[in-house]
A and B are shown apart, each in its own frame.
Chain A
C-alpha cells in the first residue's frame, strides 16, 4: 500500500511540468457536422437560460441569506400561501420550457432523418473492436486500438502514456468523404456498445440482433475521435473510433488503396457483404 502511495506521489510530481501544456477545455469540442453544430447551439442556449435563472433565483436567495438574519435583528414575517404567486411561478417556467423545446424538436427530427444518404457504412461492434462494412464501395475491415499496451500498463507494471492521441487512435481509421451524408447501420455481435463521436453529433448504441441507424455529414476535412460509450466489459475503455474526413478525390484514392490491400490479404476472395451478424 505504502509503495503504491509513494508511486502515486512520484507520478503526481512528474506530471507537474505537464501543467504547462495543461488542458482545461470546459465546453463541447468544436462541432464539425450540421447536427453537432445544432447540438452545440442548443447546449449554449440552454446553458445561458439556466445561468440567467440561477443568477436571478439565487440572487434573491443569497440576498435573503445575508439580509434576513436573526443576528442582524431581522424579525420573522408570518406570510404564507399566495395562490397568485404560485400560479405565476408555475406558468413562467412553462413558457421558458416551450422556448427551449421548439428548436430541440427541430434537431430531433433532423437527427432521426437518415433517409437519402450518399453512402452507407455498416458498423458492427465486438468485444473489443469495431468492424466497418462500406456497403457502396465493397470495403470491409476491423478497427482496433493502436496505442501500445506497455503505454497502458497494469497495476504491477505502470504504463507511461506518451502518444499524443493515447487511447484515441486506431489501426484502421473510418475514412469518409467530406460533405456527404453518411448513413450508419449500427449493430453489435456480443454485448451492447455505443458508437460515439461527439464532434460529428453521433452517439448510437449497437444492440446485438438489431440494426439501428444514424447519420452524419463531416463539414470539413479532419480527424474526429471518439470512444465506445456503453460499458461492454473489461476493455470498454480501449475501443476508440477515429473518423477521417477527406475530400472526394482523396477518398477515392483511399478506397482504391484499400481495395488493393484487401484483395491481396484475402487472396482475391469476393468480399462478403452478408447480412447482419446475429447470435
Chain B
C-alpha cells in the first residue's frame, strides 16, 4: 500500500511537460481535452467542405467545383463529421466526465486510452489527405455502396483504412468506458444511481462494441473485392450489392444512436441543473435509452425501402422504426416535465438544451414521416432526408456538444466563459441553422435529389436561402472557438460548484479540476 502510494506520488511530480506530456499522457483529463480539440478541428475541416458544397449549390449550373470533386466533398464531409467531429467529441466528454462523475481516479485502461486517441490523427490524415492522391478522394457517398466504391481509386483504400483505424479506436475507447463504469464507481453508486450521462455512455459503448466490427467486416469485404478477386458484392461472381447495404446499415443505424444517446445524457444534466429540479423520471429515462438501443438493431431496413425488399420486409422495418418514436417521446416528455414548475434560468447551456429539445424533436417528426414506407419511397435520397438528419445530428448531437462544452468549461478551465458572447453564439447558431436546413425539407418534398452538384431551376430559391444560412452558420462557429480560447485564458473564477443547481460528484472537486482527482474513492450518498 505504502509502495503504491509512493509510486503514484512520483508519477505526479515527474510527468513530462510540453508536447511530450500529450504524446505520453495517460491522464483522462489530458486525453479528454485532446479528443475535444481534435473534434473541434475536424468540425471546422468538415464545415469548410460543407461551405464549398453550399457555395456550389448557390445557383444552378456548375461554378466552383466540377461534379467529381463535388461528390468527393459530400462523401468526406459526412465521414469527417461523423467519425472525426461528433464521435470524438462524445469520447472527449466521456474521458473528462465519466471518471469525475463516478468518482474514479482515471479510466480503467489508461495507457490504452492514450493509444485510442493517438490512432485518430493518422486516420483523419488518411481521410482528408485522400483529396491529394490521383483521382481525388472517395466520391461514392459516405455509405461506400459497391459497385460504385469498387470503381474508385486508391483514395477508397485510404478511406477503408481510415475507417478500420477509427473503428479500432472506438472499440478500445468503448471497452475502456464499459470497464471504468462497471468497476470503478464510488462505493454506494449503484447502477440505478449513476448519473444519466454515464448511463447513456454505458449503453452507447455496448452499441459501439456490437457494430464497429460489422462495419470493419463490410469494408474489408470491399477491400478484398477491390484487390483480391473476391465477389462478395459482385453479382457476376455470385455476390450481391444489396448485401453490402444490409451489412452497412446493420452498423449504420445503431451508429445513429451512438451519436445521439450521449447527447441525451448531456441534456439530462443541463436541464435539471438550470431548472433547479431533479430529472422527472430517472428510471424511465434509463429504460427508454435501453429500448432505443435495442430497437436500433432491428430497423436498418428503413434505409433500404427503395431496394425492393418484399412487402413483409418493408412492413416489418416500418413498424419497428415507428416503435422508436415511443421511447424517444418518453425522453422528450421527461425533459419537459423536468422543466415544468422549475425555477429556470437561461444561461448558454440551457439555451442549447431547450433548442435541442425542440429542434431534435422536429428531426424526430421528420423521422416518423420517413418511417412510413410509402412516404419514404417518394422522399428517399432527397433533400428531405438531408434536412432530417441534420436536424437530429446538428441541432441534436452538435447542439448537445456545444451546450455540454459551455456547461463543463468552468470545471475544465476554472473560469466562467463570457456569458454574453456565449448567448450571441447560441442565437447566431440556432437562427442560421434553421435558415440553412429548414428550406431543405421543401426542396426534398419537391423532389430534389441529394448528392447532385447542379439542379433544376425550380429549386433555386430555397437553395439560395440555404446557402446564405450555411455561411452564417459556418462563420458563427468562429465565435465558439473565440469564447473557448477566451475562457481558457481567463475570466471570472469558477466555483467548485459552478452552477447553482448542479448536482454530482464532478462539482465536489475544485475548478479547474486538479490533474489527479478521487485518488481515494469519494463518499457517495
Q: Contact: A57 with B333, CB < 8 Å? A: yes
Q: Contact: A26 with B442, CB < 8 Å? A: yes
**Sample of 13 A–B contacts (CB below 8 Å):** A19-B461, A27-B442, A76-B341, A86-B330, A89-B330, A97-B323, A108-B318, A153-B61, A155-B64, A159-B61, A196-B449, A226-B447, A227-B449
A58 to B278, CA, bound (A): 20
Q: Contact: A203 with B241, CB < 8 Å? A: no
Partner among B66, B235, B308, B326 whose Cβ is within 8 Å of the Cβ of A93: B326
Residue of chain B at shortest CB distance from A43: B375
A11 to B373, CA, bound (A): 40
Chain A 117-153 interface mask (CB, 8 Å, partner B; 1/0): 0000000000000000000000000000000000111
A43 to B275, CA, bound (A): 37
How far does the Cβ of A88 sit from chain B's closest Cβ, in whole Å?
Answer: 9
Identify which of B126-134, B139-147, B413-421 touches chain A: B139-147
Known: A42-B372, A54-B365, A97-B322. A112 touches B280 (CB 8 A): no
Partner among B61, B310, B374 whose Cβ is within 8 Å of the Cβ of A42: B374
Q: Tell me, yes or no, whether A8 is within 8 Å of chain B by CB.
A: yes
Chain B 51-62 interface mask (CB, 8 Å, partner A; 1/0): 000010011111
Residues of A within 8 A of B276 (CB): 70, 76
Known: A155-B63, A155-B64, A190-B147. A205 touches B460 (CB 8 A): no
Q: Contact: B449 with A229, CB < 8 Å? A: yes
Q: Tell me the residues in window 6-50 of chain A with beta carbons closer than 8 Å to chain B beta carbons.
A: 7-8, 11-12, 15, 18-19, 22-29, 35-36, 38-39, 42-43, 46-47, 50
Q: Contact: B326 with A94, CB < 8 Å? A: yes
Q: Contact: B445 with A112, CB < 8 Å? A: no
Q: Contact: B339 with A65, CB < 8 Å? A: yes
Q: Tell me, yes or no, whether B524 is within 8 Å of chain A by CB.
A: no
Q: Contact: A228 with B326, CB < 8 Å? A: no
A278 to B236, CA, bound (A): 7
How far does the Cβ of A126 sit from chain B's closest Cβ, in whole Å?
Answer: 12
Chain A 159-190 interface mask (CB, 8 Å, partner B; 1/0): 11100111110000000000000000010001
Interface residues of A (CB under 8 A from B): 4, 7-8, 11-12, 15, 18-19, 22-29, 35-36, 38-39, 42-43, 46-47, 50, 53-54, 57-58, 60-61, 64-65, 68-71, 74-82, 85-86, 89-90, 93-94, 97, 100-101, 104-105, 107-109, 111-112, 151-155, 158-161, 164-168, 186, 190-192, 194, 196, 198, 201-205, 207-210, 212-214, 225-238, 278-279
How far does the Cβ of B147 sit from chain A's closest Cβ, in whole Å?
Answer: 5
Q: Contact: A61 with B455, CB < 8 Å? A: no
Q: Tell me, yes or no, whether B234 is within 8 Å of chain A by CB.
A: yes
Q: Contact: A231 with B63, CB < 8 Å? A: no
Q: Contact: A69 with B343, CB < 8 Å? A: yes
Q: Contact: B277 with A77, CB < 8 Å? A: yes
In the A-B complex, the 3 residue pairs with the smallest Cβ-Cβ separation, listed nearest first, are A209-B235, A212-B308, A237-B452
Q: Tell me the residues in window 310-348 of chain B with beta carbons closer than 8 Å to chain A beta carbons.
A: 310-311, 314-315, 318-319, 322-323, 325-326, 329-330, 332-333, 336-346
Q: Contact: B315 with A279, CB < 8 Å? A: no
Q: Tell me, yes or no, whether B298 is within 8 Å of chain A by CB.
A: no
Residues of B within 8 A of A207 (CB): 235, 241-242, 307-308
Q: Tell me the residues in window 244-277 of chain B with beta carbons closer than 8 Å to chain A beta carbons.
A: 275-277
Q: Tell me the residues in window 120-173 of chain B with beta carbons closer than 8 Å to chain A beta carbons.
A: 139-141, 145, 147-148, 151
Q: Tell me, yes or no, whether B458 is within 8 Å of chain A by CB.
A: yes
Number of B residues contacting the other chain (C-beta, 8 Å)?
100
Residue of chain B at shortest CB distance from A69: B344
A85 to B284, CA, bound (A): 11
Identify which of B29-37, B92-100, B378-386 touches chain A: B378-386
Residue of chain A at shortest CB distance from B336: A61
Q: Tell me, yes or no, whether B77 is within 8 Å of chain A by CB.
A: no
How far does the Cβ of B269 sit from chain A's closest Cβ, in whole Å?
Answer: 15
Q: Contact: B330 with A90, CB < 8 Å? A: yes
Q: Tell me, yes or no, whether B519 is within 8 Å of chain A by CB.
A: no
Total A-B pairs, Cβ < 8 A: 324
Q: Contact: A209 with B307, CB < 8 Å? A: no
Which residue, B68, B341, B361, B375, has most C-beta atoms of chain A within 10 A? B375
Q: Contact: A81 with B62, CB < 8 Å? A: no
A53 to B369, CA, bound (A): 13
Q: Contact: A159 with B62, CB < 8 Å? A: yes
Q: Contact: B457 with A57, CB < 8 Å? A: no
Q: Contact: B361 with A39, CB < 8 Å? A: no
Partner among A11, A28, A69, A94 whose Cβ is within 8 Å of the Cβ of B63: A11
Known: A42-B372, A85-B337, A231-B140. A205 touches B306 (CB 8 A): yes
How far does the Cβ of B146 sit from chain A's closest Cβ, in whole Å?
Answer: 8
Q: Contact: A214 with B308, CB < 8 Å? A: yes
Q: Contact: B63 with A7, CB < 8 Å? A: yes
Residue of chain A at shortest CB distance from B272: A80
Known: A76-B275, A97-B326, A151-B61. A23 touches B374 (CB 8 A): no
Partner among A167, A192, A204 whose Cβ is within 8 Å of the Cβ of B454: A167
Q: Tell me, yes or no, whether B390 is within 8 Å of chain A by CB.
A: no
Q: Tell me the residues in window 441-495 of chain B with beta carbons closer than 8 Å to chain A beta carbons.
A: 442, 445-447, 449, 451-462, 464
Residues of A within 8 A of B373 (CB): 104, 107-108, 111
Q: Contact: A68 with B343, CB < 8 Å? A: yes
Q: Contact: B235 with A279, CB < 8 Å? A: yes
Q: Contact: A198 with B447, CB < 8 Å? A: yes
How far does the Cβ of B524 sit from chain A's closest Cβ, in whole Å?
Answer: 19
Q: Contact: B456 with A165, CB < 8 Å? A: yes
A160 to B461, CA, bound (A): 16
Residue of chain B at shortest CB distance from A211: B308
Residues of A within 8 A of B368 (CB): 46, 50, 100
Other than the known A53-B365, A231-B381, what 6 A-B pairs have Cβ atoms closer than 8 Å? A24-B442, A76-B275, A77-B342, A191-B145, A202-B377, A209-B234
Residues of A within 8 A of B369 (CB): 43, 46-47, 50
A166 to B139, CA, bound (A): 24
Residues of A within 8 A of B342 (CB): 64, 68, 74, 76-77
Known: A23-B458, A24-B462, A192-B147. A210 touches B235 (CB 8 A): yes
